[in-house]
């Protein structure tokens, strides 16, 4: 373990994701809210410990970044694992925040104001 708190995992991320570097869902962002689906189904026996930990931790509503922090895993790895769990119906995406851009007129007013300083 490094002194900065980062845990090096004996199994590299690409092994845990089957060599995939990108999630199947492009809508997953660090602020995406997730919750485990409580329909009585259990993960298949082939599911790994990280998938099981993700589901266990996500019994309440958590953002993807929070989930990664709680499990001490990189956000990119968690995004791939989460997308698999969402695809399988084990996790639900509660929100995909939409980032509205400010109106062009407002941006021009702000810019004019900054130039006037």
Domain residues of the chain, as ranges?
13-115
Answer for the pair 65, 74: CB distance below 8 angstroms, yes or no: no
Q: What is the model's pTM?
A: 0.60
Q: What is the pLDDT of residues 51-108, one digit of tens each?
A: 888 888 888 888 989 998 988 888 888 888 888 888 888 989 886 556 666 778 888 8
- Identify any residues that bridge with 80 across adjacent strands, giving them in sequence order: none
Kindly state the tokens that stand for 27.
Answer: 């809508």
Architecture of domain 13-115: Orthogonal Bundle (1.10)
3-state secondary structure of 45: coil
The gap between the terminal CA atoms of the chain, to the nearest Å, is 49
Q: Is 18 exposed, middle or buried (0-12, 13-18, 19+ CB in 10 A)?
A: exposed
């Amino acid at each position: 373990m490094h002194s900065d708190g980062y845990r090096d995992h004996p199994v590299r991320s690409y092994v845990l994701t089957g060599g995939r570097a990108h999630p199947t869902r492009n809508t997953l962002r660090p602020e995406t809210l997730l919750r485990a689906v409580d329909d009585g189904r259990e993960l298949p026996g082939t599911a790994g410990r990280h998938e099981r930990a993700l589901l266990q931790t996500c019994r309440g509503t958590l953002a993807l970044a929070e989930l990664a922090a709680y499990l001490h895993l990189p956000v990119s790895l968690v995004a791939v694992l989460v997308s698999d769990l969402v695809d399988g119906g084990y996790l639900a995406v509660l929100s995909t925040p939409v980032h509205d851009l400010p109106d062009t007129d407002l941006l021009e007013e702000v810019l004019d104001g900054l130039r006037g300083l």
